[in-house]
Amino acid sequence: AKAPAKKSALSGQEVAAEKLKKHVLAALQGKIQGNDTSKYFELVRTLGDYRRRLEREPGNEVLAHMATNLVKAVQSNVSLIRENRHDALVTEILQFRLWTSPEIVRAAVLLLVGDLVVVNNAFASTCLQVVVYSFVPPPAPPLPDSLLRLDRWQPSPTESAAQALVINTVQRVFTLVPTAPANMVPLVIQQLPHKLRPREVQCLYLSAMFAVAEMPGGAAVRESLLAAAVEHLLSIDVEIKWEDIVDVRTGQEDEEGDSEDENEVDVDVFQLAGMTENEFNMNP
């Protein structure tokens, strides 16, 4: 006799996740239809509460998982999100502080933001602004001189991990939305850090720019991004030559070297910034 087929049973977590998805679905549909908005506003309030509590308790793992599960439930219903119907919900999502949020929350929010760009053009510009703004941490008070890193610049593991998630989101959006690269370039240029912001911020932002320029979907905007990067470097009062950026020999170096005064020294922008060219062009 054949053994009875085993029924696949959902785990307790999977059952809870399915219930949460259905709750979010009902909340979004109720707001669209206008017959029951109570669940929708409850959803918005809950997300806002999680966000504010995480700002106070970033190390609260239970809270981080609760927020992540709710964001994932919204992401599973992203195709239902409508402009002028769910603006309050989108606002709450975009207000998560990605660089200070736990990694699981950061990843879930970025996945949802990327999906919003893909499925609803009405939210594309705002979502892309958030992604670009997240190339670097938000502005913070300057560090005391004793804490400044004076050696060669290198991002911390936390910085690398946070920026990598952002760059992966850009890559995914570029792949799925052909118009995204052209729409993103002005935002990237507008968000270039002020020249008085710390060296670490400048290097981190430029490394993100280079990563975007070098990704397959960035080929069409590569020239614009690199030109903006060079212009920005020039604005930081650094002597720079194009050869210092691209490491291309023009054949004139030897002639120029013979005619230079022996006391003059070529200035390399990467050495001034405390880093090598390869580090500067590092992909997160």
Mean pLDDT in residue range 151-163 = 84
- 254 pLDDT higher than 80: no
Q: Give the whole-angstrom CA distance, residue 245 versus residue 192.
A: 18
Alpha-carbon distances, residue 142 vs 127, 147, 200 (angstroms)? 28, 10, 11
- The pLDDT value recorded for residue 284 is 45
* Interval 96-129: pLDDT, tens: 999 999 999 999 999 999 999 999 999 999 999 9
Q: Give the whole-angstrom CA distance, residue 66 versus residue 102.
A: 12
Whose CA is closest to 233, among 275, 274, 202? 202
Q: Give the whole-angstrom CA distance, residue 65 versus residue 69.
A: 6
- What is the helix (H) or strand (E) element at residue 243, kind and residue range? helix 242-246
- 190 pLDDT higher than 60: yes
* 193-214 core/surface letters (b: 16 or more CB in 10 A; e: else): beeeeebbbbbbbbbbbbbbbe
Q: Give the whole-angstrom CA distance, residue 122 versus residue 213.
A: 25
Mean model confidence pLDDT for the chain? 82
Q: What count of other Cβ atoms lies within 10 Å of the Cβ of residue 250?
A: 10
* Interval 26-55: pLDDT, tens: 999 999 998 889 999 999 999 999 999 999
Alpha-carbon distances, residue 273 vs 15, 152, 230, 276 (angstroms)? 53, 7, 14, 8
- The pLDDT value recorded for residue 200 is 86
Q: Give the whole-angstrom CA distance, residue 234 versus residue 242.
A: 11
Provide the percentage of residues in the chain whose pLDDT is more than 70. 75
CA 61 to the chain's CA centroid: 22
- The pLDDT value recorded for residue 127 is 95
Q: What count of other Cβ atoms lies within 10 Å of the Cβ of residue 70?
A: 19
